[in-house]
Structure 1
Amino acid sequence: MSTDQATPPASHAGALAGLRVLDLSRVLAGPWASQTLGDLGAEVIKVERPGVGDDTRLWGPPFLKDALGEASHESAYYLCANRNKRSIAVDLTQPAGQDLIRRLAQGSDVLIENFKVGGLRAYGLDAQTLCALNPRLVYCSITGFGQTGPYAARAGYDFLMQGMGGLMSVTGRPEGEPGAGPLKVGVALTDILTGLYASTAVLAALRARDQSGRGQHIDLALLDVQVACLANQGMNYLYSGQLPQRMGNAHPNTVPYQDFPTADGDMILAIGNDSQFARFCAEAGHPEWAQDPRYASNSARLAHRATLIPLLRQCTVMHSTADWVARLEAAGVPCGPINNMAQVFADPQLQSRGVITHLPHPVAGADIPLVASPIRLSDTPVQYRHAPPTLGQHTRAVLAECLGLGEAELDQLTQQGVLA
Structure 2
Amino acid sequence: MVAPLAGKRVLDLGAFCAQRPHGLAAAMAARLCAAYGAEVVRPLPAGGEPLATQPPLLPGGGSALDRFLNAGKRRGPTSGRFDMAIGDSGALEAQADAVPIRARISVFGPGDDPPMSELGLLALSGLLGIVGEAGGPPARLAGHQVAYAAGLAACTGLLAALRAGGEEVVDVSLFDVTAWLNWKVAAGVLVLGAAPTRGNARNNWHTMPASDGHVALVFQDKDWPALRNMLGDERLQAPRFATAAGRAEHRPEFLSVITPWFTARSRAEITAAAQARRIPIGPVLAPVELLRDPQNQARGFLAPDGTPGLPLSWNGARIQPEAADAA
Measured against the shorter chain, the TM-score band is 0.7 to 0.9
1:387 aligns with 2:327: no
Matching residue within 28, 34, 42 for 2:30: 34
> Matched residues in 2 for 1:142 and 1:243: separation?
29
Match of 1:162 in 2: 122
Structure 2 unaligned runs (5+)? 16-22
1:284 aligns with 2:244: no
1:141 aligns with 2:77: no
One-letter amino acid of the counterpart of residue 386, structure 1: A
Match of 1:323 in 2: 269
Structure with higher Rg: it is 1
When residues 64 and 36 of structure 1 are mapped into structure 2, their CA distance, relative to the original with a 3 A threshold, is farther
Instruction: Please show how residues 287-302 of structure 1 align to structure 2 within 5 Å.
Output: 289=236, 296=242, 300-302=243-245
Question: Is the 1:171–1:184 Cα contact (8 Å) retained in structure 2?
Answer: yes
When residues 388 and 255 of structure 1 are mapped into structure 2, their CA distance, relative to the original with a 3 A threshold, is farther
Question: Is the 2:185–2:195 Cα contact (8 Å) retained in structure 1?
Answer: no
1:271 aligns with 2:227: no
Q: CA deviation at 1:232?
A: 0.8
Match of 1:192 in 2: 148
CA offset digits 1:69-97 (Å, max 9, x no partner) = xx4xx43221110111121146xxxxxxx
When residues 57 and 308 of structure 1 are mapped into structure 2, their CA distance, relative to the original with a 3 A threshold, is closer
One-letter amino acid of the counterpart of residue 305, structure 1: A
Query: Under a length normalisation based on structure 2, what TM-score does the superposition of the two structures give?
Result: 0.84
1:259 aligns with 2:177: no
One-letter amino acid of the counterpart of residue 285, structure 1: G
One-letter amino acid of the counterpart of residue 111, structure 1: A
Question: Is the 1:53–1:89 Cα contact (8 Å) retained in structure 2?
Answer: no
1:22 aligns with 2:18: no
Question: Is the 2:13–2:91 Cα contact (8 Å) retained in structure 1?
Answer: no
Match of 1:9 in 2: none
Question: Is the 1:57–1:78 Cα contact (8 Å) retained in structure 2?
Answer: yes
When residues 304 and 335 of structure 1 are mapped into structure 2, their CA distance, relative to the original with a 3 A threshold, is closer
Q: CA deviation at 1:108?
A: 2.7
Match of 1:410 in 2: none
Question: Is the 1:237–1:243 Cα contact (8 Å) retained in structure 2?
Answer: yes
Question: Is the 1:227–1:234 Cα contact (8 Å) retained in structure 2?
Answer: no
Q: CA deviation at 1:28?
A: 1.7
CA offset digits 1:172-206 (Å, max 9, x no partner) = 2211xxxx111112212111111111112222222
When residues 242 and 142 of structure 1 are mapped into structure 2, their CA distance, relative to the original with a 3 A threshold, is same
One-letter amino acid of the counterpart of residue 25, structure 1: G
When residues 79 and 388 of structure 1 are mapped into structure 2, their CA distance, relative to the original with a 3 A threshold, is farther
> Matched residues in 2 for 1:79 and 1:56: separation?
9
CA offset digits 1:4-41 (Å, max 9, x no partner) = xxxxxxxx221322322121123421111111121121
One-letter amino acid of the counterpart of residue 107, structure 2: G
Instruction: Please show how residues 203-222 of structure 1 align to structure 2 within 5 Å.
Output: 203-207=159-163, 209=164, 213-222=165-174
When residues 331 and 388 of structure 1 are mapped into structure 2, their CA distance, relative to the original with a 3 A threshold, is farther
When residues 317 and 202 of structure 1 are mapped into structure 2, their CA distance, relative to the original with a 3 A threshold, is farther
Question: Is the 2:215–2:282 Cα contact (8 Å) retained in structure 1?
Answer: yes
Instruction: Please show how residues 8-407 of structure 1 align to structure 2 within 5 Å.
Output: 12-26=1-15, 27-49=23-45, 51-59=46-54, 62=57, 65=60, 71=61, 74-89=62-77, 100=79, 104=80, 107-114=81-88, 117-118=89-90, 120-121=92-93, 123=94, 125=96, 130=97, 133=98, 137-148=100-111, 152-175=112-135, 180-207=136-163, 209=164, 213-237=165-189, 242=194, 244-247=196-199, 252=201, 256-274=204-222, 276-286=223-233, 289=236, 296=242, 300-302=243-245, 304-307=247-250, 310-318=253-261, 319-320=264-265, 321-357=267-303, 370-377=307-314, 380-387=317-324, 389=326, 393=327
One-letter amino acid of the counterpart of residue 244, structure 2: R
Higher mean C-alpha deviation, range 280-289 or range 343-352:
280-289
Question: Is the 2:221–2:244 Cα contact (8 Å) retained in structure 1?
Answer: no
When residues 119 and 331 of structure 1 are mapped into structure 2, their CA distance, relative to the original with a 3 A threshold, is closer
When residues 42 and 380 of structure 1 are mapped into structure 2, their CA distance, relative to the original with a 3 A threshold, is farther
> Matched residues in 2 for 1:219 and 1:313: separation?
51
Structure 1 unaligned runs (5+)? 1-11, 66-70, 91-99, 359-367, 394-420
When residues 378 and 140 of structure 1 are mapped into structure 2, their CA distance, relative to the original with a 3 A threshold, is closer
One-letter amino acid of the counterpart of residue 147, structure 1: P
> Matched residues in 2 for 1:279 and 1:273: separation?
10
When residues 294 and 205 of structure 1 are mapped into structure 2, their CA distance, relative to the original with a 3 A threshold, is farther
Q: CA deviation at 1:63?
A: 5.2
